[in-house]
Amino acid sequence: MSCFWNKDGMCRDPVVGNSAASDERCSKCERYRGPHRGLGDVIDSVTSTTGIKSAVKAVSSAMGVDCGCDKRRADLNKAFPISPELPK
């Protein structure tokens, strides 16, 4: 895992705390900071940059419901991964 927070196989994110990093755990982490792993990360990057993500999180929090962003991001990354290798 090439996330910014991954140090020697442990998540060092101050919000998440020290916990074991794994592909499964990191694929669902909304605080993942690394290369785009798939379409979900690309969409997350765009919505974060434009402020859409903050607005959606604020509205869903005020309504007391989960927006489903994290699950959607993980599902899209799994369905449409970005290959680390260029085609030959």
pTM: 0.72
Q: Are 1 and 21 in contact (CB under 8 A)?
A: yes
pLDDT tens digits along 69-87:
988 998 998 899 987 654 5
Can you tell me the distance from the alpha carbon of 76 to that of 65, in angstroms, rounded to the nearest whole number? 21
Give residue 6's pLDDT.
84
**pLDDT string in tens for the chain (88-residue length):** 578 878 888 888 888 777 888 777 777 777 788 888 899 999 999 999 999 999 999 999 999 999 999 889 989 988 999 876 545 5
